[in-house]
Structure 1
Amino acid sequence: MRSWILVPADKEKALGQVAGSGADVVVVDLARAASNEAKQHTRLAARDWLSSHREQVVSARRFARWARIGPISSPQWRDDLAAAMEGAPDGIVLAECAGTDEVQQFAAGLYESENRIGVRSGSTKIIPELGGNPAAALHLKPFAEELHPRIVGLGWDAAALARSMGAQRMRGPGGLWSDALAYVRGQVLLAAHAQGLQVIEAPFRDTRDAEGAQRAALAARADGFTGMMAVHPSQVEAINSAFAPSQDEIAEARELIGMFSLNPGAETLPFRGRHVGYKELSRAKALLGED
């Protein structure tokens, strides 16, 4: 899944238009802080959108439906989760995740919600957003080790980290990430690849700079990210284009998959001068849309 578009659940117009954005994944954002009264309206809007788009016309471009919930430190996350789960989303982006213990706590809430609404247990996936504050940013190693089975990818929240440090910028000359943010970005990228997971680049926030957004998407793809978050429909095409596989990559993926099909049960195989295993096979299948 290349393009992920984040749409605030409290923005009625944006929510009404996002299905036609061309994104692979629509993420309905419930993580924005608001009063209890405003939250009630937001939860209903998110539930209704997720429910109404659960059945998609086969001839139309299909997209996955996710919700963004959290952080766990917020007293509102359980009610937000309960509302989103009534729409049976494909997965949850866990905002400002501070550690693997928070994933465990959140997953327990997911199990309860799935059982309550009759969704298959364990079917709702999680992508935690990591390194949202300095303390969390310095404790990312556990995410490169054994993880909860619901986790299918990792992301990071550059804006949250910058706010927590009082930083006056996120990017420097040439559009490069500032040092602290680049450090977290690299750690999240490495942790995801260590686990063979998807890894989602943080969004390019300046919706007026189309060229900058395109450069950011191309850089994310070149650095090893598997997808990127958008904050406006105008950014989706650039992300889809940047992450589209080349003909050489498609040919290599087919060759690798073919080798494993001819050698059932093999854990590793020699391939083009290197040894490959299940992680490489999974990436090849994902690239061809066979995951």
Structure 2
Amino acid sequence: MGQTPRPRRSVLYMPGANERALEKAKTLDADALILDLEDAVAPDAKDEARERVCAAAASGEYGAREVTIRVNGLDTDWHEADLREAAKAGPDAIVVPKVNSREQVTTIERALEFNGAPDHTKIWAMVETPIAMLRAADIAAASDRLTVLVMGTNDLAKELHAEFVPGRAPLLGGLSLALLAARATGKVILDGVYNDVKDAEGFEAECRQGRQMGFDGKTLIHPAQLEPCNRIFAPSEEEVAHSRRVIEAFDAAQAEGKGVVTVDGRMIENLHVDNARRILALAEAIEARG
């Protein structure tokens, strides 16, 4: 908790083959962008998209937005070239799909170093298979360069033979394992996408569920999802005010040598103070981002 948190409430996938989309992303209120070379790009457009995305990531034209590049998977013909060129472009992070083991993280890290990736270019590992859920702690702990776990809920549901249902009951076991791994290793974790861009009510419900579970933010597939996602994953005015009261009461009690602190009729312990400080730090980081 020593360093200021970076807001990652909303993380928007942008198709790397679409020049207009990459340009539009410069104006969108997303905390982070994933410039996509994988699912959003047809096989015959991979080379052109790679060149376009790497130029965009290196341009410095995206303001406070965190800019990442999603490369193609380790088992594809495009992965090596994607990783090489992305490393040279030096984005904030390189997003790697279907990371299933500690050894794969090590391989990715070595490739980034070999290709001259700057220190600020981190690894975001997508965990989206049953084996990744079971190995999530090993994956998360594999490298200090790995800073974020990204849930791939569509692929996880496919491999589980699960149905997409409100509340995501079939996925909760995997989501919880990945969350435990992230928190145990001090990593950020992002919830998966919501597929029905016309279902605003369902999307907001899933955002609230993700926030309640403990996710730091959510990956998105459409700009229309940005506003509700940013709102739900940000501390509310009530949370900020309560957090300030908690810290003020705790500090006052310590100064007076009191052992018991209450705020709004509830006893306050160190864990409540830590949580209050985390909430205020996030609120301040969001405000500073503008």
Would you say the 8 A contact 2:15–2:22 is kept in 1? Answer: yes
Query: 1:210, 1:20 → 2: CA distance?
Result: 22
Residue 277 of structure 1 and its aligned partner are, at CA, apart by 9.8
Query: How far 1:206 moved relative to its partner?
Result: 1.0
Residue 9 (1) aligns with residue 4 (2): no
Matches within 5 A, 1:85-234: 85-114=87-116, 119=118, 122-130=119-127, 132-143=128-139, 146-165=141-160, 167=161, 169=163, 171-172=164-165, 175-179=166-170, 181-234=171-224
Q: What CA distance in whole angstroms lies between the structure 2 residues aligned with 1:72 and 1:21?
A: 30
Match of 1:44 in 2: 51
Q: CA deviation at 1:258?
A: 12
Alpha-carbon distance in 2 for matches of 1:157, 1:129: 6
| Amino acid aligned to 2:66 | A
SS of match in other structure, 1:152 = strand
Q: Distance in 1 between matches of 2:197 and 2:73?
A: 25
Match of 1:18 in 2: 25
Using structure 2 for the length normalisation, give the TM-score.
0.79
Please give the TM-score of this superposition, normalised by the length of structure 1. Answer: 0.79
In structure 2, stretches of 5+ residues that fail to align are: 1-7, 255-260, 262-266
Corresponding pairs, count: 266
Compared with structure 1, are the counterparts of its residues 258 and 195 closer, same or farther at alpha carbon in structure 2 (3 Å cutoff)?
A: farther
Kept after mapping to 1: 8 A contact 2:129/2:155: yes
The alpha carbon displacement at 1:109 in A equals: 1.1
Assess, with a 3 A threshold, how the Cα gap between structure 1 residues 149 and 141 changes in structure 2: closer, same or farther. closer
Shift of 1:29: 0.9
In the alignment, residue 107 of structure 1 is paired with which amino acid?
E
Q: In the alignment, residue 190 of structure 2 is paired with which amino acid? A: I
**Distance verdict in 2 for CA 1:49–1:250, change over 3 Å:** same
Q: Show the 5 A alignment for 1:240-255.
A: 240-251=230-241
Contact 1:253 1:285 (C-alpha < 8 Å) held by counterparts = no
Q: Is the 8 A contact 2:26 2:61 kept in 1?
A: no
SS of structure 1 residue aligned to 2:231: helix
CA distance in 2, matches of 1:232, 1:40: 24
Change (3 A) 1:56 1:183: closer
Unaligned 5+ residue runs, structure 1? 264-269
Q: CA RMSD in A?
A: 3.1
Q: Which amino acid in structure 2 is aligned with residue 133 of structure 1?
A: T
1:99-129, CA deviations, whole angstroms, 9 ceiling, x for partnerless residues? 12111110111112236xxx3xx22112211
- Distance, in Å, in 2 between the alignment partners of 1:83 and 1:215 is 38
Among 65, 78, 82, the residue aligned to 2:80: 78
Between structure 1 and structure 2, the one with the greater Rg is 2
